[in-house]
Amino acid sequence: MKNVAFSLTVVATLLTPWLASAQEAVKKCLACHTFDQGGAKKIGPNLFGIFGKTSTLPDLAAKGVVWDEPTLMEYLANPSAFVSAKTAGASKSKMALLVKDEAERKAAIEYLKTLK
């Protein structure tokens, strides 16, 4: 039993900095999004449980866009260019934030994966 407690402590110690980094990466998103289960829609949708789901934006849903890691990496780098490319210029994203830093995009995506 002692080893289990030690293992949990080690895991918690290792995960705490990662979780803090991931949460920091999504701080910018809080102006327009919520992350809580059942959270309200703001300017943008609630992002709880979004990872692995088909987009709820009608133009993207019609194209079968699923919010997986490669899709989110591309979207977060330049949302308007992503939506425009997927919809042949018929739509643009309202999201003005460009997450240019690849590590920051990866951290945000890892955080979204935890919201189940």
R_g (Cα) of the chain, nearest Å: 16
Q: What angle is formed at CA 67 by the lines to CA 75 and CA 11, rounded to 5 degrees?
A: 105
Q: What's the pLDDT band for 109 if we cut at 50, 70, 90?
A: very high
CATH classification of the domain holding 19:
1.10.760.10
pLDDT for 51-106, tens place per residue? 999 998 899 999 999 999 999 999 999 999 999 999 999 988 888 889 999 999 99
Residues 35-61 pLDDT 10s: 999 999 999 999 999 999 999 889 999
- Helix, strand, coil % over all residues of the chain, rounded to 5: 55, 0, 45
Half-sphere exposure of 90 (CA within 13 A, CB side): 9
Domain count, the chain: 1
Look over the chain and give the mean of its residue pLDDT values, rounded to a whole number: 85
* Domain extent at residue 41: 2-114
What is the percentage of the chain residues whose pLDDT exceeds 90?
A: 64
Is residue 111 within a helix (H) or strand (E), and if so which, with residue range?
Answer: helix 102-114
Task: Tell me: pLDDT of 112 over 60.
Answer: yes
Cα torsion 36, 40, 42, 47: sign: positive
